[in-house]
Amino acid sequence: MKFSFFVLLLAIASASKWAVLLAGSSGYGNYRHQSDVAHMYGILIDHKFDPDHIITIMYGDLPDHPRNPFSGTIFNHPGNNQRNYQEGLVIDYDHKYKLTKELYLNILLGDSGSVRNMTGIENPKVLKTNKDDHIFLYYIDHGGDNIVAMPDGDYLTARELVQTIQTMYDEGKYGKLVYYLEACESGSMWQTLPNDINAYALSSTLPNESSWGTYCPPNDDVVDGVHIGSCLGEVWSCFWLEQDDAADLSTLTLQKQFDDAKDFTTTSHPLQFGDMEIAQEPVGDYISEVAGRRRFLRSENRRVEQWDSRLNDLLFWKNRALDANDREAYAKYMEIAERNLNVDRYFKQLVRKVMKNDDTMLKLHFAEKNWPCYNAVLEKYQSTYGFNDYSMKYARTLANMCTLYKGDVQDIINAM
């Protein structure tokens, strides 16, 4: 018994911590995704996390964006004298590279050869982990049923993500892994995650609901008296990011953080998956126990402005049009409103063509997927029309048709 305990202590002492942070979008309307990732990077640095063990993947277009009223900045919270998370931020893979799912998955797998071929970087930064190491992963972007978006290329499927984590486990690439995922319908990404591979995952939502932005226009995006003009963060992510700033991470457990964030997040219903024993461990085991440099307490006095992420594009341009009486912004708002209506009409008509009804297909959610059919119709829609933040909600409709339709998948494709 004493020998086993000694071996355990040696393993803990030799374990390294690694983190991979990914913002899957670009553009000023998606400010909140990159600002949340920048905040997480700041937390890791504040807690003395080895910067060589942090891999950051984000487009990096916010600081110099023409709509940014404060050039060279990224803010994640409104008010005066707020922290600029652009300061000290190191992005390993930005818009100079194709930020695809293939790049991301090969970084996780530690495949430096494949990443070198994709990027041209002689010594690319990838996970260099072993069977004792702890890995913290954070992803934030748009999502749909069993899919999440990437800055470039095709969406990442739940099947691909879970299989990659399984492969990492099988190849001894981690001791324990924690994954925080914020996206619409993100609960659908983890429904097949095994509970016996030392992996613990959280989602910001149920499998069939939207994620929400926070600190949004027109009233709660103000920094130093100036409107940023976009949501500064996401509801769920901002809560636990701010908790990480304030809490003693050597005593705050992952379970406590999940419970607190779930209680706070009234716009969606976060979920947890995988190995629940990991949830009893301190957050500090994954992002370091060293105290952070700032203590931030969220104001509980009022509800801040929040936006449904599905409607973010629409609300973003509506706010710009109203705020500045901007005719070009109004035209863009009307364009997106018409686009969304056309997407609604398209899928209602598609369901009628294939299934002879609409309400059932548009509302149900099935955990089990007919993946050959689903992959085929996803590829057809993506190549023909392309998914956007709004149309991704209809990925579930395509999945439902594949599950319930008794004919050939080609019938669905022909109807598209």
Q: How many helices (H) and strands (E) does the chain have?
A: 14, 14
Helix (H) or strand (E) holding 157, with range, is strand 156-157
From 47, 184, 216, 373, active-site residue: 184
Q: What are phi and psi of 135, to 5 degrees?
A: -120, 130
Q: What are phi and psi of 223, to 5 degrees?
A: -120, 125
Token output for 244? 């990480």
- How far is it, in rounded angstroms, from Cα 303 to Cα 235? 11
Report which DSSP code applies to 267.
S
Residue burial 146-184, b: 16+ Cβ < 10 Å; e: rest: bbbbbbbebbbbbbbbbebbeebbeeebbbbbbbbbbbb
77 is catalytic: no
> Biggest alpha carbon distance in the chain?
74
- How far is it, in rounded angstroms, from Cα 105 to Cα 109? 6
- How far is it, in rounded angstroms, from Cα 143 to Cα 146? 8
CB 178 within 8 A of CB 135: yes
From 39, 47, 77, 142, active-site residue: 142
184 is catalytic: yes
Residue burial 115-140, b: 16+ Cβ < 10 Å; e: rest: beebbeeeebbbbebeebbbbbbbbb
Catalytic residue IDs: 142, 184
